[in-house]
């Protein structure tokens, strides 16, 4: 009986670790919607500082939603170099 209890505890521990790992991966792989992201979310993208994040939000408020992720390049300061670094991290919805 003691062996069954130890195996059960080990199984539960491994399952818990797996769940935590999956949750962390899902959170890490979540994409940022550039049509709804706030400044803090935008700043989390590589190459986007506070000024560029503010420009993105201002552009979105003035012009409207981005139709495609490529439209992000119409924001002053967001060129191909920055766009190529973050394109796999962003979406428009």
Assign residue 58 the CATH number of its domain.
1.10.150.320
pLDDT band at 3 (very low <50, low <70, confident <90, very high): confident
Phi-psi region of 47 (alpha: psi -120 to 50; beta: other; left: phi over 0): left
pLDDT tens figures, 26-52:
445 689 999 999 999 999 999 999 999
Are 14 and 49 members of one domain?
A: no
- Rounded average pLDDT over 44-71: 96
pTM confidence score: 0.68
Same domain for 39 and 50, yes or no, is yes
Same domain for 3 and 14: yes
Same domain, 37 and 26: no
How much of the chain exceeds pLDDT 90, in percent?
A: 67
Which has more confidence, 93 or 21? 93
User: For residue 85, what pLDDT band results from cuts at 50, 70 and 90?
Assistant: very high
Q: For residue 89, is pLDDT > 80?
A: yes
pLDDT higher than 70, residue 23: no
Mean predicted confidence (pLDDT) in 51-68? 96
45 shares a domain with 24: no
Structural domain for 81, as ranges:
32-91
Domain count for the chain? 2
């Amino acid at each position: 009986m003691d062996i069954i209890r130890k195996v059960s505890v080990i199984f539960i521990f491994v399952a818990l670790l797996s769940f935590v790992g999956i949750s962390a991966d899902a959170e890490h792989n979540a994409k940022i919607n550039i049509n709804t992201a706030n400044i803090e979310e935008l700043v989390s993208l590589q190459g986007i500082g506070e000024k560029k994040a503010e420009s993105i939000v201002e552009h979105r408020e003035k012009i409207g939603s981005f139709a495609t992720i490529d439209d992000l390049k119409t924001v002053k300061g967001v060129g191909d170099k920055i766009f190529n670094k973050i394109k796999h991290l962003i979406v428009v919805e």
